[in-house]
Amino acid sequence: MPRSRTITASQALYVGPTPATGGHFLLSGNKVLSKPITGYNLIKELYRVQNVNYSFNFDLQPINQLGELAAIDYVAPNPPTVSLDFSYYLANMENEDSLGFSISSGTLLGCLSGILKKQTDDKNYFIGTAAEGEDAHQTNTTTSYTVGIGNGFITNYSLNAQVGQFPTVSVTVEGLNMNFIAASSGLVPAINPFLGTPISNVGFE
């Protein structure tokens, strides 16, 4: 049986709008999956990405009692931790704008103003993987699956510049949820941060 390979040309990284629980289309509001998509897609691609890593950690603590050697149960005292790390070459600040940093020309504005005011802080992130043998940027590509990071907050942003090398930005995002979809569209990975329940009426494409 042939082994499937995932190479760099077949993956792309995207980021959604704020809030993560809101609509991802400008004119259609919340995209209900039973209705056709209208309007402008607010999900943006991040460009010049060099690497992407994602993971989740689910900490289970054993419950022991007298009279039994083995644990009688395992419980999670804390919610799972979802992490996303990626890096890209710094260029025209388009990625920074997509990530929620305040970008302006001729106006005195702090780059973190939108994030600190919670106007551009939580976002959904998507890693799309094209079918084997296809480039992610092909216009007729077929996305085989999508990894979604829900309610992602930037916890680290750093820039490394060295002589003879391209300036490289490294970003760390921590989220509240992760989902895997065997398609290029579906429900957003966001959850209600107060109830911990999935958002079931907002989709992406």
The pLDDT value recorded for residue 125 is 97
The structure's pTM equals 0.83
The pLDDT value recorded for residue 118 is 85
* Token pair recorded at residue 110: 């702090």
DSSP tag of 95: H
Answer whether 49's CB lies under 8 Å from 87's CB.
yes
Q: For residues 97 and 171, what is the distance between their CA atoms, to the nearest angstrom?
A: 14
By the 10 Å C-beta count (0-12 exposed, 13-18 middle, 19+ buried), 25 is classed as buried
* Token pair recorded at residue 146: 């999508």
From first to last of the 205 residues of the chain, give the pLDDT tens digit. 444 556 667 789 999 999 999 888 765 444 444 444 556 788 999 999 999 999 988 888 888 999 888 888 988 888 788 999 999 999 889 999 999 998 877 777 788 888 888 888 899 999 988 877 777 776 555 667 899 999 999 999 999 999 999 999 999 999 999 999 988 888 999 999 888 899 988 888 8
Please state, for a pLDDT cut of 90, what percent of the chain lies above it: 41
| 3 state DSSP class of 176 | coil
